[in-house]
Amino acid sequence: MKIKFLGATECVTGSCHLLNIDEYNILLDCGLYQGSDGKENRNSEIGFNAEDIDLVILSHAHMDHSGRIPLLFKEGFKGRVICTKGTADLSNIMLIDCAHIQVTDANWKNKKREEKGLEPIIPLYDIKDAEESLKYFEGYDYDEKISILPNIKLIFRDAGHLLGSAICEILINEMEETERKVVYSGDIGNVNLPILRDPTPVSQGDIVIMETTYGNKEHKAVEENLHQLVEIVKKTFEQGGNIIIPSFSVGRTQEIIYALNKYVEQGELTHCKVYVDSPLAKDTTKIFEKYEEYFDSDAKGLIKMGDNPLKFKGLYFTESTEESIALKDIKEGLVIIAASGMCEGGRVVHHLKNNLEREECAVVFVGYQSEGTLGKKILNGDSEVKIFGEEIQVKAKIYNLEGLSGHGDKKVLHNWLKGFKNKPNTVFLVHGEGDSINSFNREITSKGYKSVIPKKNQEFIL
């Protein structure tokens, strides 16, 4: 058995790992590089022959884990994509949306390139490619033992990171030897978040591949961050401003809606208008409502009492571009939740342009900001940022509520790893950058774990 690390190596995007078991090639995720990770055409270079892949196991629907699957099919892959039912449904809208963005971005850049006499660029894939790939997705339940290939079985455990997100347990009877288990964490969720259950403990694994996004940080308690969010909203409204929340349309947005629902219905937030400015987020919220069995006990309790936690008075979903543009003329009293979460595109960039220069406004980050992204620059305290080619002064108040992130902090990661009754033979650390991954590596090595930080394209015989 061999494993080759093709993405999310010493960075937090582009998740992609290749398992070779007997004569079979299994891909764990096939995600997009984002931010500075995605420069130098890294997304177009998959690093292997797509026709040689037998199967894709998809941990969850976020683009840094799923976003190159249509490219895989475009390059000749003809196999199955195995995931949870929730991930399959979310992928149906997310990959189509991603294809639309690929084409739109390429068209916009090509207008500029044509003016300069440059050759046009070709999008990674188009909507037809995405639609074709989605025909091969197969959704399964959590805790179901799935025979995926001869002598290879798969079990999905709830990762608590996103609706349908999974820890992948791969059970191998290679050459009729004793069964061995490879555990791929995907993204391990935060604890005590609204809506979703906490990550599922795993008690046994020979080889573990795990994420380290927040391997060097401890989050504040979720409830503390939610109270802080309420205070930010109140203070900003008193000062006559708006609150902009850059948020991933899938996952974070629904959790923020859930949290604000509580405070609106309790009367702590009055006259609060919340605009979710993302058609994708509206479609995603409908899928969340379909999968109540994935919810935690608190969310199920509200639903049982007839209270839909994803709806409240004062919550609006924008449909058209015109509705989004109209928000520009409202100068106070709005909470605007819009994608993308790292401010790399989408409607949130327009809202930042309209509000960043206003001292009475606030920008609240609720998720990880990768190096090189606009979100990271704002969070780092840059006094000016470039938006649509224009220098924009950052005068709005900037807040970072990491406790609302969908990623567990170092304490959650340590506790998840400690859940294994016996130390794994090897722990491979991925999906982390800089001190985050290095600090986590030092700590678990000091506790007796054999830990490796793989380089891009590095291969290991297991």
Is 40 a residue whose pLDDT tops 70? no
Element (H, E) at 325: helix 321-326
* 155, HSE (Cβ side, Cα atoms, 13 Å): 14
Cα–Cα distances in angstroms (integers) from residue 308 to residues 5, 7, 20, 86, 301, in the given order: 42, 39, 45, 19, 10
Which one-letter amino acid corresponds to residue 241?
A: G
Residue range 258-277: average pLDDT?
86
Host domain of residue 35: 2-217+406-461
Looking at 357, 372, 404, which one is the last position of a domain?
404
Residues 339, 418, single domain; the answer is no
- pLDDT tier at 381 (50, 70, 90 boundaries)? very high
Q: What is the pLDDT of residue 115?
A: 87
Whole-prediction pTM value? 0.88
**CATH for 248:** 3.40.50.10890
Residues 317, 380, single domain; the answer is yes
**CATH for 51:** 3.60.15.10
Q: What is the pLDDT of residue 174?
A: 60
Is 55 a residue whose pLDDT tops 90? yes
Q: Which of 127-131, 314-318, 442-446 has the lowest mean pLDDT?
A: 314-318
Residues 11, 153, single domain; the answer is yes
Q: Would you call the peptide bond into 91 cis, given omega within 30 degrees of 0 as the criterion?
A: no
Structurally, the chain folds into a number of domains equal to 2
Residues 293, 369, single domain; the answer is yes
Comparison of pLDDT for 392 and 372, the residue scoring more: 392
The per-residue pLDDT for range 404-442, each reduced to its tens digit, is: 888 999 999 999 999 999 999 999 999 999 999 999 999
Q: What is the pLDDT of residue 249?
A: 67
Residues 274, 176, single domain; the answer is no
Is 457 a residue whose pLDDT tops 80? yes
Q: State the Cα–Cα distance between residues 123 and 108, nearest whole angstrom.
A: 11
Is 359 a residue whose pLDDT tops 80? yes
- pLDDT tier at 176 (50, 70, 90 boundaries)? low
Residues 385, 413, single domain; the answer is no
Which one-letter amino acid corresponds to residue 451?
A: S
Is 272 a residue whose pLDDT tops 90? no
Parallel, antiparallel, or unpaired: how do β-strands 24-28 and 362-365 relate? unpaired
Residues 204, 271, single domain; the answer is no
Looking at 371, 389, 404, which one is the last position of a domain?
404
- pLDDT tier at 41 (50, 70, 90 boundaries)? low
The per-residue pLDDT for range 135-167, each reduced to its tens digit, is: 999 999 999 999 999 999 999 999 999 999 999
Comparison of pLDDT for 223 and 413, the residue scoring more: 413
Residues 345, 393, single domain; the answer is yes
Residues 338, 261, single domain; the answer is yes
Over the chain, what is the mean pLDDT? Answer: 91
Residues 246, 337, single domain; the answer is yes
Residues 435, 399, single domain; the answer is no
Q: Which residues of 177-213 are buried (b: 16+ CB within 10 A; e: fewer)?
A: eeebbbbbbbbbbbbebbbbbbbbebeebbbbbbbbb
Residues 297, 319, single domain; the answer is yes
Is 175 a residue whose pLDDT tops 80? no
The backbone torsions φ and ψ at residue 74, rounded to the nearest 5 degrees and listed phi first, read -60, -30
